[in-house]
Amino acid sequence: MDIPFAASERSTIGVEWELALVDQDSGDLRQVAQTVLEAVAPVGGGEHPHIKQELLLNTVEVVTGVCRTVKEVTHDLSRSIEALRLVTDPLRVELMCAGTHPFARWTQQKVTDKERYATLIDRTQWWGRQMLIYGVHVHVGIEDRDKVLPISRAMLTHYGHFLALSASSPFWGGQDTGYASNRALMFQQLPTAGLPFQFDHWHELEHYVGDMMHTGVIDSFDEIRWDIRPSPKFGTLEMRICDGVPTLSELGSIAALTHCLVEHHSRELDAGRELPSIPSWFVQENKWRAARYGMDAILILDREAREELVTDDLERLLVQLEPVAEDLDCAEELNGVRDIMAAGGASYQRQRAVAAQQAGELDVVVAALVEEMRAGRPVLDRT
C-alpha cells in the first residue's frame, strides 16, 4: 500500500487542544457542544476553521493553523478561546481542561451524532463509552519522509518526560486512582491505540496499514491512534502522549519542548549521526512509571538501562536544547518547563493539593481547573 507523505515546511508547528464544557454552578459536564459549534460557525454555513467537533457532546476541540513559532500557537489558541467564551459565558458554561473530569460519570455522557463516532462506539462497546478523556496533540512539520520514523523512535525515548509533565488525570468518577495519568492507561484499551510499532522503514508502515485495512481493523490511516504517529496528510509527526493541559502557559511549554526535540533530532540526522532509541519493553515500562508516579518517576533512558529521575533528566534536556530554542524563538516557553517542575508542580499534583485542602471535595478541584483556564497559568496561591 502506498502512503504518500505530504510536503511540509520543516519545524512548522500546530496544536490540537480538547476542552471540556462544564456547568458554571455545579462543575459537572454540560452536553452543549452542538449548540456552541452552531453559534461559532461562519455566516453562510460550514464549520469554524479552528473550533471542532469531538466524540462527546461535552467536548470541543480548538486547533491552530500552521504556525512557525510557539508564540504563534498560543496567540492562535487564545483567539479561539475568546471566540468560544462569547458563546459559553451567556450559557453559564466554563471551559476546562484536564486528562479526565474529576467526578463526572461516563454513563451520563452523550455521543456526538456522527457516523464515525457511532461506528467507534459500536465496535469498542464498554471501553469506547468510557473514553471520557481529554488530550493535547502537537504536530511538527518534517520536510523529508525518510526522517519521520527515525525521529519518531527518538521521541519515544522522551515518552515519560512528556507524560509526567502533562499528567492531569488523578481522579476518575469521583475517586483518586493513585495514578498521575489515569487517562494514558485508559486510552490504550482502544484498538490501534497506545504505543506505536518501531518500524525502521516506511514500507513496513505501509505494509502494516495495508494489513489493517484489508482485515477491516481500520478504514483510514487516521484510525491508527498511536501515542506518536506520522500524519501523512499534513506532513508532520504528531505527538499524542499528553494528558489534557489546563493552562495556555503550560501548553506553550510542552509545545516548545516538542518543537525543540523534533528539530534537534532533525539536525542530528543532517549531521549524519544516529538517533537514540530504546527497546519497546523499556518504552512500555516508562509509560507505566510516568502514568503512575508522574514527576516522581524514575525513567529508563537508554539501551543500557541507565535510569534517572524524570525531573533531573528534564533539566539536562533543557540545557541541551537551549541553542535550538533560541533558533526557534521559544526560549521563554521552553524555560517554562522548569516552572512546571517547581512551585505547585504538574496539574495532577495541584489537583490533589486542592482536594486535600477541601477534605476531598472534587467540585472544588473543578473550580480550580476552571480558574486556571481563565488565568492562562497555574494558580498557586489560594489562601
| Packed helices 33-40 and 70-88: angle between N→C axes, nearest 10 degrees | 110
Q: What is the pLDDT of residue 382?
A: 66
The CA dihedral of 97, 103, 108, 109, to the nearest 10 degrees, is 10
CA-wise closest residue to 28 among 87, 89, 135, 106: 106
Report the 10 Å Cβ neighbour count for 92.
10
CA 162, distance to chain mean position in Å, is: 9
CA atoms within 13 A on the CB side of 360: 3
Q: What is the pLDDT of residue 383?
A: 61
Residue with cell 495556555: 248
For 172, 185, 278, the CA distances from 253, given in Å and listed in that order, are 26, 24, 25
CA distance 137 to 135: 7
The answer to whether 103 and 362 are in contact (CB under 8 A) is yes
Instruction: Fill in the DSSP letter of residue 28.
Output: -
Residue with cell 511540509: 8
For 61, 169, 248, 322, the CA distances from 102, given in Å and listed in that order, are 19, 8, 20, 36
Which residues of the chain are under the pLDDT cut of 50? none
Per-residue pLDDT tens over the stretch 132-142: 999 999 999 99
The CA dihedral of 227, 232, 235, 241, to the nearest 10 degrees, is -10
Beta bridge partners of 196: none
What does the radius of gyration of the chain's CA atoms come to, in whole angstroms?
Answer: 20
Cβ neighbors of 174 (< 8 A, separation 6 or more) are 102, 103, 362
The answer to whether 183 and 243 are in contact (CB under 8 A) is yes
Pairing of strands 13-23, 136-141: antiparallel
The answer to whether 302 and 180 are in contact (CB under 8 A) is no
Q: What is the pLDDT of residue 321?
A: 98
Helix, strand, or coil here: 196? coil
For 131, 282, 294, 317, the CA distances from 306, given in Å and listed in that order, are 35, 11, 19, 15
C-alpha cell at position 32: 452543549
The CA dihedral of 371, 128, 196, 235, to the nearest 10 degrees, is -70
Q: What is the pLDDT of residue 24?
A: 97
Per-residue pLDDT tens over the stretch 205-225: 999 999 999 999 999 999 999
